[in-house]
């Protein structure tokens, strides 16, 4: 399975199942690590299929962002459409431009951290942050733009244990030095 590959130090091996949804960790026995097991032989093709699906999803997201940006330029003031609640971007509240709308995330243990760059001059008290079991959103009070909206999280979170804060960036992470970042720390619901 790993012809020509060299591994040095500790190696972590994990296995997940994505069907039926949701994606979750899967247990395996030491015998499942043999080089002739079917899942290991299938792994390169499965990984390629996963990568192609991620490309398709990213292309759809970019197409949606372009469509929203075109709609904003056609309608002065940003449109003001009502959110239809389906999360597909069509009929949802308009988002900010690509630079401002981008976000980054990372997982560690039972927490997921989401970092969202803030427009210049926006302070914490101006933010309206919504953390629910299966969705998150953040808007600037009095504005139609959404900084971030995830209508259906991959897995549930504990909203009462999750937190958010505004941090100054030093340039070593996303954002330019001195810019501000909304940091959401989401606690995964593991029960």
Q: DSSP for 65-134?
A: HHHHHHHHHHSTT---PPP-SSSSSTTSPPBPPHHHH--EEEEETTEEEEEEEPPTT--GGGEEEEE-SS
Confidence band of 2 (pLDDT split at 50, 70, 90): low
Quote the pLDDT of residue 162: 94
Distant-in-sequence, close-in-space partners of 136: CB < 8 Å, separation ≥ 6: 114, 129, 130, 148, 149, 150, 153, 157, 184, 186
Using alpha carbons, list the distances in angstroms from residue 105 to 92, 114, 183, 186: 22, 4, 9, 10
Confidence band of 64 (pLDDT split at 50, 70, 90): confident
Residue 182 and residue 115 in contact, taking contact as beta carbons nearer than 8 Å: yes
* pLDDT, averaged across the chain: 74
User: Residues of the chain with pLDDT > 70: what percent?
Assistant: 73
Q: Please state which of the ranges 40-49, 100-109, 126-135, 151-160 shows the lowest mean pLDDT.
A: 100-109
Check residues 100 and 135 and name the one with the higher pLDDT: 135
Quote the pLDDT of residue 125: 93
Short-list 149, 136, 175, 31, CA closest to 95: 149
Rounded mean pLDDT, 1-19: 71
Rounded (5°) CA angle 33-38-41: 85
């Amino acid at each position: 399975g790993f012809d020509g590959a060299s591994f040095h130090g500790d190696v972590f091996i994990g296995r997940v199942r994505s069907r039926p949804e949701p994606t979750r960790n899967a247990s395996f026995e030491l015998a499942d690590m043999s080089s002739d097991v079917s899942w290991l032989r299938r792994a390169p093709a499965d990984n390629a299929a996963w990568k192609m699906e991620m490309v398709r999803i990213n292309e759809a997201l970019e197409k949606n962002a372009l469509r929203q940006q075109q709609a904003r330029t056609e309608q002065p003031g940003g449109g003001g459409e009502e959110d239809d609640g389906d999360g597909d971007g069509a009929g949802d509240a308009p988002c900010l431009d690509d630079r401002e709308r981008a976000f980054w995330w990372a997982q560690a243990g039972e927490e997921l951290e989401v970092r969202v760059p803030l427009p210049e001059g926006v302070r914490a008290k101006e933010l309206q942050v919504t953390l629910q079991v299966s969705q998150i959103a953040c808007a600037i009070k009095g504005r139609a733009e959404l900084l971030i909206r995830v209508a259906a999280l991959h897995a549930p979170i504990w909203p009462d244990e999750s937190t958010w804060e505004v941090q100054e960036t030093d340039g070593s992470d996303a954002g330019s030095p001195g810019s501000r970042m909304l940091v959401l720390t989401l606690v995964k619901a593991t029960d």
